[in-house]
Structure 1
Amino acid sequence: MKFNRDQAIRVLRRLLALFFCLWGLVWLSIRAVEKQPNDRNVLDKGLLAAASVPETVKLWFSVKSTGLEHQEFVMNTEPGLARLGELSDIQYLNNHLYLLYYRYEGTDKGSVYLQNIKTGEVAHTWHVPLRKIFEDIQGLKQDVKADFEAQEISVSLHKRLPNNLAAIRILSPIIGDDLSLIFHCGVLGYMYKLDKKSDLLWKSEELVHHSIELDDDGNIWTCSVDLRHSLAKDLRFREDAVLCLDAEGKRLHFYSLSDMFSNNGLLQTLLEATPATIMPDGPYRDPYHLNNVLPVKSDGKFWRKGDLFLSLRDKSAIVQFRPQDGSIVWYQQGPWLAQHDINIVNESTISVFNNNVSFTSWDWSDIQGGGSNIAFFNFSDKTTEYFGKGLFASKTEGRQTQTVDDWILVEETNKGRYLFIDSFGTVRCQFYIPYHNEPSNAMSPNWARLYLKSGSEFVLQE
């Protein structure tokens, strides 16, 4: 083949032109990223939108593959996996255990059920005002988006809120007085309380997320955010906070985590010394990721009634906070990793849902040692024992509940499955909540609660 010098030169020129064009786009994109939102022109915004396309496509495939867009899991054909309420053949399963859980039911309908796990008998149903909640979420999304673009807040919270009714999570439901129901709507939103007839009693003024727990006085302890905290704005991260509401939804206490740690000389240890998680959807630093606030209901050897145990996922840390004097009594990072859901086992031991996930990448893809487990920490000798190794794995969520029979109910949230494990570490049974229009698939768990029916009362299992 004869070498054509002129043609080769033309190809080289085009390649060089393409190289400089691409280099110019990269340079302009970097400048656009470095600018503040209000200083970006149309070209800057267009370049940032184009740059986000690959990550958007990746996220879309991730959502589609997990079913979380509409909270549906495709279940495998594992032997012994049954639907909720179809476990009558499990001889040793307690006849009086009820699950309090949410299920989406199509269009704008969703309900919370208190249902017998073994027989399927429904003791009570609350119909959730999904349309009202969706309107609240859309209003919140517009507000936080406007605040972010105006640099009033430094994190892009609006990108993390659901876009349709099917995606709304009715999370961490718990029964209050007179069969009232308390819950919130997922990653960030308001708390709601319904009466036993499903009429709305109140909606909180504050934004909440993750766990809901009641103390002995009927007060509600939960996780919140302090969007305008000065340090969080300066360093561009999400500031989590502990919030306490009374039974009427009025704010009683509010503790910013950064203030709490600063007042106890721990800000460097629990904020500055370890990196914040940086999500791929823009400036979203989440250094604490508070996911559980557990009020202590009785004195123990190492805690007092009124203390709070806090779970900080992104620090792999458990903190014992004493609101009476504002002191941090104890804290420990690890050996649990990215943990959730603290329980008090006895007067000197706590248990933790140990997700056991490495933070080596933003998607926390590496579960250590083949699975998650329950970590039991003994304050007396500072030892940790592990329970349930190899039986379940949940990357970013999970719950564990002790029963009166010394079994543990595990919510494998990221897989749509529940397991009862006896004290010897044997899985006694496993089940799922059937999806409304495809019973062979599972409804995504939303931090369900376990209750024991005693006479006419339903007693929360913790």
Structure 2
Amino acid sequence: MFVMFRQVDLVSSDKGGGDTAAPVVSRDGRVPPETSPLERLLYRPVPLWLLLLVIVLGAGGLIAFGAVVDGWQKSGALGRAAIQTARLPDTIKRSFEGSAPYFRGQYPRLPAGFWRNPAQGLVDPGYALVSPYDPERGRSVVRLIRLSDGATLRDIVPDVDAANARSRFTSALTDVRRDKDAPRNRLMHPLLLSDGSIVVHDSSPLARYDPCGRLMWSLDGIFTHSTERGPDGTLWVPYRHPRPTEPGVRPTFWDDAVANVSPDGTLLSSVTVAAILERNGLGHLWRGRPYSDDPFHLNDIQPVMADGPHWRRGDVFLSLRNLSMVALYRPATGRILWWRVLPWRFQHDVTILDDHRISVFDNNVLMGYPREAVNGTNRLLVQDFAKGVTTSPYAEAFRRNAIATRAQGRGTPLPDGDAIVEETEQGRLLRVAPDGTVRWRYISADAQQRRFALAWARYLDSSTDGTAIQKAMTTPCV
């Protein structure tokens, strides 16, 4: 049996355009000899069995390709080629999207940069380390700002491509050269060290750069979210295994871990969140739910700097967003000393206020709704361990300023009662009083006042960070 083409008559026209019809094909499938070789090939009869064979082989090839992609880590060069082919649509899409992290929601149009409320008379003695997107450079930078007048003291432009060039891991989660190159790297939560250098990442290798942006060291892997320094000077950073260590999960599983790194870039320890929960009899908190590639979403590791009645120096607080859980963890013993799920929902940024209180930036998300909508506004909650109560002292400030970032977000209560708040997605950083009065604000935006997302700013105090600030300001670059 053959697939035959219907006979078509040649049609000529005296109105111009020449002979444009298909060649005549006889009822027995023959093409006249005067036709071109290409036309003869196109109109060649195709046996039905061959067509069916091609369809069957094609379907089998797609199934085999999917199997290789699903277990590409175990397939050597073939697996690497398969995953790169599977990523091709994403690569093409990203080439058209651009690198600027624009916020697509609604917001009041405000000028970019720093503004201080002249009616308040407050001269903030602190500094801010922010990493806004710079439209002139076409990439994010780390910017040191003096808050008394909003002056930019230094822009550090880290050579993230140098760190990515050293990277050797492969993962279904990210391709650092494609996804985290200089134009797309957001420079998450920069940490300023005493020599004026910074440590940053963006779901990419953890790297340290001098004040001129030159790479000092890099630690390969997927480091995410917060970067904090412990009492011994080591760094605590959430880590995500490029290839999951948890059995029976997909290659795209977010296998989060608590990582401790030396100031010279050596990985000192790493333990997965799954192992921590299992060891403490809490594995049911995620295993009892429907499968998710992102069951934990570790977004903050906050080290305890001094002993207190409820914790010890060297303990760490963990924020597990997708469990709406905050836990006090003792790395020395592997034990969870305290944990709580709710009242915060999809929270970020635990801050230790004194020897018995912590604050938690509560995204206050309606988790069962499409796009995880915020329930009105975010909240900055205070958990008092001595009294066993949770309060919301900045509720009016958040309401008056409509602070509502769906994802991420930062909040730092200050000793005088004010708070530094980052509305991450909307690109807004501000100091507010509990009654909602804005002392100053910083907006990340372009000349048309279109907002760029921020990437976890840090408030610096000259009494504790003075040496680092001075080095960052004065180190010459040649």
- TM surpasses 0.5: yes
Q: Secondary structure at the match of 2:116?
A: coil
The one of 63, 68, 89 equivalent to 2:118 is 89
- 1:159 & 1:129 partners in 2: Cα distance? 14
- 1:451 & 1:125 partners in 2: Cα distance? 16
Q: Any conservation in 2 of the 1:84–1:118 contact (CA below 8 Å)?
A: no
- Going by fraction, where is strand more abundant, 1 or 2? 1
Q: Any conservation in 2 of the 1:232–1:239 contact (CA below 8 Å)?
A: no
Which blocks of at least 5 consecutive residues in structure 2 are unaligned? 1-54, 72-84, 470-478
- Residues 1:98 and 1:90: Cα distance change in structure 2 (over 3 Å): farther
1:384 and 2:419 equivalent?
no
Report what 2:216 is aligned to: 201
Q: Secondary structure at the match of 1:415?
A: coil
The one of 114, 128, 153 equivalent to 2:144 is 114
The one of 372, 378, 403 equivalent to 2:378 is 372
Q: Any conservation in 2 of the 1:90–1:429 contact (CA below 8 Å)?
A: no
The one of 263, 267, 277 equivalent to 1:247 is 263
Report what 1:358 is aligned to: 366
- 2:161 & 2:138 partners in 1: Cα distance? 6
- Residues 1:433 and 1:263: Cα distance change in structure 2 (over 3 Å): same
Letter in 2 for 1:89: P
Deviation at 1:308, TM superposition (A): 0.8
Written as runs of structure 1 = structure 2, the 5 A alignment for 1:314-329 is 314-329=322-337
Q: Any conservation in 1 of the 2:432–2:439 contact (CA below 8 Å)?
A: yes
Report what 2:153 is aligned to: 123
Q: Any conservation in 2 of the 1:226–1:241 contact (CA below 8 Å)?
A: yes
Higher deviation after alignment, 195-204 or 89-98: 89-98
1:400 and 2:411 equivalent?
yes
Written as runs of structure 1 = structure 2, the 5 A alignment for 1:143-292 is 143-144=170-171, 148=172, 156-158=173-175, 162=179, 165-184=182-201, 186=202, 188-234=203-249, 237-269=253-285, 271-277=286-292, 285-292=293-300
Letter in 2 for 1:125: D
Deviation at 1:375, TM superposition (A): 1.4
Q: Any conservation in 1 of the 2:403–2:423 contact (CA below 8 Å)?
A: yes
- Residues 1:382 and 1:88: Cα distance change in structure 2 (over 3 Å): closer
The one of 266, 283, 300 equivalent to 2:308 is 300
Which blocks of at least 5 consecutive residues in structure 1 are unaligned? 1-23, 41-48, 149-155, 278-284
The number of equivalent residue pairs is 398
- 1:353 & 1:301 partners in 2: Cα distance? 23
Deviation at 1:457, TM superposition (A): 1.2
- 2:91 & 2:161 partners in 1: Cα distance? 27
Q: Secondary structure at the match of 2:213?
A: coil
Q: Secondary structure at the match of 1:319?
A: strand
- 2:119 & 2:166 partners in 1: Cα distance? 43
Letter in 2 for 1:95: D
- Residues 1:242 and 1:449: Cα distance change in structure 2 (over 3 Å): same
Q: TM-score, normalised by structure 2?
A: 0.72
Written as runs of structure 1 = structure 2, the 5 A alignment for 1:428-443 is 428-435=439-446, 438=447, 440-443=449-452
| Cα distance per residue 1:238-262 (max 9 Å; x no partner) | 2100101111011112111111111
Deviation at 1:346, TM superposition (A): 2.0
Percent identity for Structure 1 against Structure 2:
25
- 1:263 & 1:39 partners in 2: Cα distance? 30
Deviation at 1:321, TM superposition (A): 0.6
Larger radius of gyration: 2
- 2:359 & 2:453 partners in 1: Cα distance? 24
Q: TM-score, normalised by structure 1?
A: 0.74
Report what 1:36 is aligned to: 67
Report what 2:427 is aligned to: 416
